[in-house]
Structure 1
Amino acid sequence: MILALLLAAGTPAAPVLTIDGPGRTPLVLDSAALAKLPQTTVSRTDHGKSVRCTGVPLPALLTRAGLPQGEALRGAALATGILVVARDGYRVLFSLGELDGSLGKAEAVLASNCNGQPLDSTAGPLRLIVGGDIRAARSVRQVTRLTVVRP
């Protein structure tokens, strides 16, 4: 259904997300691969407007990329960061620990639609929404890449 809506809206039929980092083989996901991952909905207020967005929880993407989660997230892995990169170069950094549900509370979702509609070209095709943030500064529009960074 999302793919049909994307085609009807004239946006790319297969948005691509790359997860990479030094020493890692890049993982490239298209819209079909993203649709097969767990989906969740997060709500927040953007510039005074209520927004309800659906997409893949960021921890599910990180697990798909082979990064440690839960009990396996300890020691040196806690120094790992995830750099979220937008098409226009906007970047936001998260620690792996703050994204893990057993340690942090960041409700980060890589959304493909908001308020029941596919994202338009100014926001999508993918947008990172962080539900618990007071300001939307980390809700990155036009996400194209997640880069794993380590000190």
Structure 2
Amino acid sequence: MTTAEKTLRLTLGFALAAGLSACAGARPVREAAPEPAGHGGHASEPFAPSPFAVPLDAATLAKLPRETVQAAAHGESLDCEGVALDALLRATGALPADKLPGPQLARYVLVGARDGYRVLYSLAELDPGTGKRRALLVDRCNGAALGEEDGPLRLIAPEDARPARWVRQVKSITVVTAP
């Protein structure tokens, strides 16, 4: 082995040892958790864990005020009724009762359908104090309960330019903190 090869091996050995030493002393990445809001050093109120499965059972939905919405999708006019998504999120603890604190701005709502279709809303856009995006989880349209093709629950966002984020056959609603 030549002197140059010995020097190269020695240099690589030191570099490897230094790299392993640095890795051993590195702090692990922390899981997302509630943190201070950063405004005046006050801690934010605790919020639901991530991911948080929002209950969609009849008892939970029956406790919430019902609203009506008129909307159109694919040339069809709809008069529907159900519960506001933000009211459901508040009632289940997924959205705070008061002003949305800074750490919660990194949370989103994932709505899944039986057929695998999924859409996403930011928690901030659904919060009336921040984004005011209206979305309703409906169970009745045009005077009748939703049929198998659309129900038993359907999410409608009447302000969206097109109904791409409307979800038929809602199966799950999950609130997640972005990584």
TM-score interval, normalised by the smaller of the two chains: 0.7 to 0.9
TM-score normalised by the chain length of structure 2: 0.67
Q: Is 1:40–1:55's contact at 8 Å kept on the other side of the alignment?
A: yes
RMSD: 1.9
Contact 1:53/1:113 (CA < 8 Å) preserved in 2?
yes
**Which fold has the larger relative contact order, with Cα–Cα distance below 8 Å and residues 6 or more apart in sequence?**
1
For 1:3, the equivalent position in structure 2 comes to none
Larger radius of gyration: 2
Q: Using a 3 Å threshold, how does the CA distance of structure 1 residues 52 and 121 change in structure 2: closer, same or farther?
A: same
Contact 2:55 2:92 (8 Å CA) reproduced: no
Contact 1:85–1:144 (Cα < 8 Å) also in 2 = yes
Name the counterpart of 2:151.
124
Answer whether contact 1:21 1:147 (CA < 8 A) is retained.
no
Name 1:68's counterpart in structure 2: 95
Provide the aligned length of Structure 1 versus Structure 2.
131
1:148 counterpart = 2:175: yes
Unpaired runs of 5+ in structure 1? 1-19
Counterpart in 1 of 2:120?
93
- For residue 10 of structure 1, what is the aligned residue in structure 2? none
Calculate the TM-score normalised by the size of structure 1: 0.79
- Tell me what 1:22 maps to: 50
Unaligned stretches of 5+ in structure 2?
Answer: 1-47
Q: Percent identity?
A: 50
Deviations 1:21-77 (A, max 9, x none): 6364x4534223312211111111111121111001000110122123464312110
CA distance in 2, matches of 1:41, 1:62: 18
| Stretches of 4+ aligned residues off by more than 3 angstroms | 20-24, 26-29, 68-72
TM-superposed deviation, 1:148? 1.0
- Which deviates more from structure 2 when the two are superposed, residues 96-105 or residues 80-89? 96-105
